[in-house]
Chains A and B, each alone.
Chain A
Amino acid sequence: MAGEIVKTSVPITFMYKNRVGRSLETYINGLKGKKIVGAKCPRCKKVYVPPRTVCGKCHKLLDNIIELDQQGVLKSFTVAYVNIINGEIKDTQEPYVIGLIKLKGASSLLSAVIKASSPGAVKTGMKVRAVWKDTTRGDYNDLAYFEPV
């Protein structure tokens, strides 16, 4: 009857080049100029950051792009002791902080890395500000992290 369990290894590898869409293009172009932009819903006035294309609640196009303040309040955070890479959970070299930030003027929360003197120095409710790479290239990493004000 049954002996050893036999398995075939079946990797799936395929590469997509997803067009990010106009909203994120606007956001990424903003990052290149060290600006954070959001999109305001003409109906409910909610300000989404990064800009979304459509407000789900109102079913309206969000084509009103506005520049946001680069300071905000940390609403929630987690200290990451692991990274998930290719589906595997691996220890980080150093723990780092992932936070949800409410920028002044925004309604939604922006996720970002928070860098303080140590992860223990990060507190919910603290004021944080954006820190940029010296040279921006027009990608998400231009906005390097947020730090306490």
Chain B
Amino acid sequence: MEKVALVGYKQTKHTFESPVARERIIYELVKSLYKDMGITKDDIDTFILASNDFTDGRTISEVFTVPRIGAYMKDETKVEADGLNAALYAYMRILSGLYNTALVIGFSMSGSEFRVPLTQAYTMDPAYERPRALINYYSAAALQAGAYMKKYRFTEEDLAALTVKNLENANNNPYSARKEPDASVDKVLGSKLLYTPIRQAHVSAYADGACAVVLSSKKMARKFTDKPVWIDGVGHLMDTYYIGDRDLLKMDSLAGAAKKAYKMAGIKNPRKEIDLAELHTNFASEEPVFTEAMGLFKPGSAKDVVKNGESRIGGSIPVNPSGGPLGANPVNATGLIRLAEASAQLRKEAGKNQIKGAKTAVVHAQDGPGAQSNTVFVIRR
């Protein structure tokens, strides 16, 4: 089968309030990515944007953004999902043989222009969940976290320590919006309770920002870079919508998507073969559930994983060495940022958070309350 490589990537320095508008952000980002790569818009065959009419506050919102990324009068489309799903579309378009190169971009102004919980509320079932107003993204995550913590005796202190691990990584990431040099277990435990066990400190940092990547067919990849990152496995599955119909701990859609991606990439034992994971966690409490559903750690082992530092940089499988969405969660870009951050690791471009000798990474994105839909990539250098 033809292979697809990531040949370029770039993200903005994410902020809680961007000094410029979204159209300018994505123009500057894409222009500087093209410049870094020594290419122009004419080198790109197809363009895929990830955004959402609700997060943009206008319908068919790419009419404003298409010209900014160089897709004027070119083949383009928009994915109403995370940017990693846009990368999945780009990957398939290249595999079709009709295109050699694709630009993928995800962005939003979720730090300053709209209330993220409101856009989330519009994804809830208008016939049942919205009039009842019990289940939202926060309470769904809380019910999942509560079930995990009760079953596996994972304590509030353990969850706080995991949160601090991510905040420390985010402090060393120049692109993070959230910087908490004084992050500590006590400070996390003292932060505002929202829905037990979820506290404000566990919530990802909704921010203004964007991320762009260029994908290429194998035959063209070396023209763009001598450090291609190969997309060796992909999986994307959506579970049933209602929280009560799903197993919140097994997470069949995530487990299944990971399994598909591992199979494609020829990975038999993810615990041994994966060097790092970049996960789209909207809440710190999702990390143990996600990593276990993906087979990265043993079910119920989060207490030991945290205690032994297995998910830290230098541990057996560092999880979100970038700090993950706890450092910056520009909605629609977040999963694509995971791809960029993991690619940076494999290309030895991850700065202070660099993991030594990383060759294989797993990347994840989610959508929906309680992570209903999940996308997984396996990438290699």
Contact = CB atoms under 8 A, between A and B. Distances in A.
A100 B244 contact: yes
B245 A84 contact: no
A87 B135 CA distance: 13
A52 B245 contact: yes
Determine which residue in A12, A19, A24, A112 has the highest number of CB atoms from chain B within 10 A of its CB, and name it: A12
Nearest to A85: B133
B194 A18 contact: no
Given A24-B127, A50-B128, A83 B133 contact: yes
Nearest to A16: B126
A111 B33 CA distance: 47
A140 B17 contact: no
Contact of B196 (A12, A81, A112): A81
B134 A113 contact: yes
Contacts of A89: 117, 138, 194
Interface stretch (B85-93, B143-151, B262-270, B273-281): B143-151
A75 B128 contact: no
B150 A87 contact: no
A76 interface: yes
Contacts of A20: 127-128
Given A88-B115, A112-B134, A140-B132, A81 B195 contact: yes
A16 B38 CA distance: 50
Nearest to A50: B128
A64 interface: no
A129 B202 CA distance: 33
B117 A88 contact: yes
A108 B244 contact: yes
A75 B132 CA distance: 20
A1 B138 CA distance: 41
Given A78-B196, A81-B196, A89-B117, A110 B139 contact: no
B147 A76 contact: yes
A76 B196 contact: no
A48 B216 CA distance: 45
A81 B192 CA distance: 9
A12 B57 CA distance: 8
Nearest to B116: A87
A141 to B, nearest CB: 9
A10 B57 contact: yes
B117 A84 contact: yes
Interface string A71-98: 0000111111111101111000000001
Given A16-B126, A112-B134, A87 B193 contact: no
A44 interface: no
A5 interface: yes
B195 A78 contact: yes
B19 A5 contact: yes
Given A2-B20, A98-B139, 20 more contacts: A5-B17, A12-B57, A18-B126, A49-B244, A78-B142, A78-B196, A79-B193, A81-B194, A82-B194, A82-B195, A87-B115, A87-B116, A88-B117, A89-B117, A100-B243, A108-B242, A108-B244, A109-B243, A111-B135, A124-B146
Interface of B: 17, 19-20, 57, 113-119, 121, 126-128, 131-136, 138-139, 142-144, 146-147, 150, 192-198, 240, 242-245, 248
Interface of A: 2, 5, 7, 10, 12, 16, 18-21, 24, 48-50, 52, 56-57, 75-84, 86-89, 98, 100, 108-113, 124, 140
6 contacts: A2-B20, A80-B194, A84-B121, A98-B195, A108-B244, A113-B134
A-B interface, 5 closest residue pairs, ranked by CB to CB distance from nearest: A87-B118, A87-B115, A109-B244, A78-B142, A20-B127
